[in-house]
Structure 1
Amino acid sequence: MPKDFVYLADIDPTIRQDMRYAGSNNFTGKPVPGYDAAECVLVREAAEALKRVQEAVRANGYTLKVYDCYRPARAVAAFVDWAKEPDDPEAKMIYYPNLPKSALFPDYIAPRSGHSRGATVDLTLAPLGEDPNDLPATQSCTAPQGSTAPDGSLAMGTSFDCFDGKSTKFASNITAEQNANRIMLEDAMQAQGFKGYEMEWWHFTLGNEPFPDTIFDFPILPRR
């Protein structure tokens, strides 16, 4: 791991980690190449900025919950390969119920990802307290949500990695409560220099990222 990168758990162990691509609870249905440990790795600047976000949201009774951080380039290539494979009916029902698989490339699955620069993170907010991490997805990502999402995080209108128009930042087909939760997350992240992505409410990149033109491919290994 390059010296400029850190494990988020070493910077702020209170931030919850539900690293989906290190296991089978993701749209590919299996661990993704390069994810040899369920750990969030980021450039130090992004990890320290997340620590400040966490301090702010914890004061209001919430915690950050990260799903993906640095993403090795080999994982991005595996996603592209997956996008070219025939449809898996179960994956379609859960992750892209309203789109053909051909429509996922390149808006949702691209040949290059900002995650591979080390300053992009996928995350949400969850109430402080019990957390049912890494529950397997069993229903459509666009299914109606109550006050919380199926994984215990705040209801945002869709679950993570929902390839659907309902996931866009300004979606109109979500409830007022879900929209308020999205705004709360966006405001907290923007206050510490992160910028959102219009297609995915969970996706944020540090504005002043240290490696804006560098793609990394080192594997994510267990902390020592």
Structure 2
Amino acid sequence: MKWFSDRFIAIVLSIMAVESAAAQAAIPLVDIKSVDPTIVVELRYSGPNNLAGRALYSRGTPALVRPEVASRLVRAQAFLGRYLYRLKIWDAYRPKSVQAQLWQVARNNDYVADPETGAGSMHTWGVAVDATLTDARNHFVRMPTDFDELTPAAMLHYQGSDPITRSHLTLLQKAMGRSGFYGLHTEWWHFIISNWKKYVPAIEAKQVPDELQQNDRLFSRNSAQITTP
């Protein structure tokens, strides 16, 4: 009887794994630039300036997300425009094969999700983006860290003392929070659509870390001063 029970469980898990793979393969995605051409796209994994130190995407790879994510990014961009800033996307949908390469580079790093554990990275479901700011002319603005700088300085809640950097981060968080995104406390640039569970199979959603389950909902209530250029 125990053999039958173990065998049955193994079959069920195998079926769920196949269904999960099928669900990911069928993800409907849209190109962010086709929805709002004013959003700046600079996919860091298309070049060497990232955690892996090499290009993981082919040149010209578009920034893809779920249609609902794209519409919320449009709202964030409109909000930022009031202050003469723009949204810049560093990463969007990330194929599971690319997530596996990142895991190989940093498998002992708590910041990188194992693609074979639970839901893996929210990027692989098309429900997360890595984003920063530029000014209205697409010029660099000061932020806490660069992309993929996985250090305490990259925390969601700014640890530094520069008022301009703090202002920029606050503005980004307000724009994303009011548009229906949550943040990740270890990466100020990482944003997840608030209803991500709608797009992730239930069995895998249950295995998502508590930190993401609870998430941070303080963006829209952040009252720090915003400085415009």
Normalised TM-score (structure 1): 0.71
- How far residue 63 of structure 1 moved from its aligned partner, in angstroms, is 0.5
Query: 2:173 maps to what in 1?
Result: 186
Against the structure 1 CA distance between its residues 164 and 174, is the aligned structure 2 distance closer, same or farther, given a 3 Å change threshold? Answer: farther
Q: 1:204 to 1:3 in 2, by over 3 A?
A: closer
Q: Percent identity?
A: 29
| C-alpha deviation, 1:198, in angstroms | 0.4
* 2:56 maps to 1:68: no
- 2:27·2:125 contact (CA, 8 Å) conserved in 1? no
Aligned equivalent of 1:55: 78
Cα deviation for residue 190 of structure 1 reads 0.7
Q: Which among 58, 68, 88 is matched to residue 45 of structure 1? A: 68
Matches within 5 A, 1:62-101: 62-83=85-106
Q: 1:121 to 1:64 in 2, by over 3 A?
A: same
Structure number with higher relative contact order (C-alpha < 8 Å, ≥ 6 residues apart): 1
Q: Which runs of 5+ in 1 are unaligned?
A: 85-101, 132-151, 216-224
1:184-223 aligned at under 5 Å gives the runs: 184-209=171-196, 210-213=198-201
The match for 2:38 is 14
Q: String of CA shifts for 1:171-222, please: whole Å, max 9, x gaps.
A: 323412211211111111110110011001111001013412389xxxxxxx
Contact 2:51 2:102 in 1 (8 A): no
Larger radius of gyration between Structure 1 and Structure 2: 2
Question: Which of 155, 166, 191 matches 2:142?
Answer: 155
Provide closer, same or farther for how the CA distance between residues 174 and 40 of structure 1 changes in structure 2, counting only shifts above 3 A: farther
Instruction: Give the number of equivalent residue pairs.
Output: 173
> Which residue is equivalent to 1:29?
53
Residue 124 and residue 80 in structure 1: after superposition, are their counterparts in 2 closer, same or farther (change >3 A)? same
1:117 touches 1:213 (CA, 8 Å); kept in 2?
A: no
Matched, 1:129 2:116: no
**More displaced, 21-30 or 70-79?**
21-30
Q: Which has the higher helix share?
A: 2
SS at match of 1:195: strand
1:144 corresponds to:
none
SS in 2 for 1:63: strand
The two structures have a TM-score, normalised by structure 2, of 0.70
Task: Show structure 1 runs of 4+ deviating over 4 A.
Answer: none
Q: Say if 1:166 and 1:130 are closer, same or farther in 2 by CA, change over 3 A.
A: closer
- Please provide the CA RMSD for this pair: 2.0
Structure 2 CA distance, aligned partners of 1:122 and 1:174?
23
The code of the aligned residue for 1:13 comes to: P
Cα deviation 1:60-95 (Å, max 9, x = unaligned): 2010000000111111110111125xxxxxxxxxxx
Map Cα deviations across residues 107-156 of structure 1 (whole Å, 9 max, x no partner).
x112021111101000011101154xxxxxxxxxxxxxxxxxxxx1x211
Q: For residue 109 of structure 1, what is the aligned residue in structure 2?
A: 112
Kindly indicate whether the alpha-carbon contact (under 8 Å) linking 1:120 and 1:205 is maintained by their aligned counterparts in 2. Answer: yes
